[in-house]
Amino acid sequence: MLPHPSANTASFIPRYYRPHLWFLGLFILGWTLILGIPTARADTNSSGLPPIDARAYILMNAQTGAIIAAKNAYRPYAIASITKLMTLYLLFKDIHAGGMQVHQEFVPCQAALETGGSSMFMHPGLRFSVAQMILGMTVPSGNDAAVEAAHLVAGSVPAFVREMNQTARKIGMLSTTYYDPDGLPHPNNTASPYDIAILTKRIMTDFPQYMHFFNHENFTYAGITSPNPNLLVGRVPFITGMKSGYTDAAGHCLVATGTQNGVQLIAVILGVPSFTDENRGFWKASWQSLKLLDWGFARTLWLPAVPHLEKTSAP
């Protein structure tokens, strides 16, 4: 009969074994030290990665796809305007295929004018170039610009969203579902940090000629100048972009890319705790991204590889 879990386990050990337990413990401890078997305590944050205050994140090498650090990286979360990275990817594909030109001009459609939330401030009859529409998405995260892009590429938002989801599956974004081209709140608009990193890597690899659109501190259109919520752009020399996002459900989110000594890294951070002051939230998201990238470059470029010391938070 097995002892009850609450019972004193020592009372069920035969008397003639008890004097030898101390020797068994010393034997196990000795071989642990000799063989160098790591303990759970030794593995805790042994990589030196600073605390990242976010629901989920991933740090990826943009050239190799290697994952350098991760936390909850394969779970889908609300992504807010990070959604626009797919909108931009499909727009770049259309431009590359000759569907439209960067300097081509249009007037906004009614659907774009009626879109709420963040805006590049499109006005009825006021012309814009495709380049301005791109900057309207990358800097002030204009929802009007995203809806306009959807209409120009696919003819309608529903048709464009179908293309977004088809493309996501095609390039391996298996934890992603798109509901709209702009990232306005909806429970079906979710992605994992890993999927977002895959998409960012594809943009950097497939369309390097358009990366300069992600590196603007400000954007002016219709007489209104909007700042980039990615506070690293224009302030940190190695930063090359890329996209911010915020809703109550998503918290503050940021995809930050950087290049040093020929190495390109992608940091995706989702769910930085929100603040009443939205600008303060983006400051914190930018700070978390900078910590992650700075650590990643140090580890990748200058620190020797020590596999048993490279454990980070579990995905």
The whole-angstrom separation of Cα 242 and Cα 264 is 13
Provide DSSP, 156-207. Answer: SHHHHHHHHHHHHHHTT-TT-B-S-SS--S-TT-EE-HHHHHHHHHHHHHH-
Q: Residue 234, exposed/middle/buried by CB under 10 A (0-12, 13-18, 19+)?
A: middle
Catalytic residue among 47, 81, 175, 286: 81
Residue 81 annotated in active site: yes
CB 190 within 8 A of CB 178: no
Phi first, then psi: give them for residue 122, nearest 5 degrees.
-65, 145
Please name which of 278, 80, 55 lies closest in space to residue 185, comparing C-alpha atoms. Answer: 80
Query: What 3-state DSSP class applies to 61?
Result: strand
Residue 130 φ then ψ, to 5°:
-60, -35
With beta carbons less than 8 A apart as the criterion, state whether 106 and 83 touch: no
Number of residues written out for the chain = 315
Whether 286 is catalytic is no
Told to judge if 84 belongs to the known catalytic residues of this protein, a careful annotator would answer yes
Q: Residue 285 and residue 229: Cα distance in Å, rounded?
A: 9
Question: Whole-angstrom Cα distance, residue 92 to residue 79?
Answer: 21
Catalytic hit among 119, 141, 175, 226: 141
Catalytic residue among 84, 201, 243, 284, which?
Answer: 84
Residues that are catalytic: 81, 84, 141
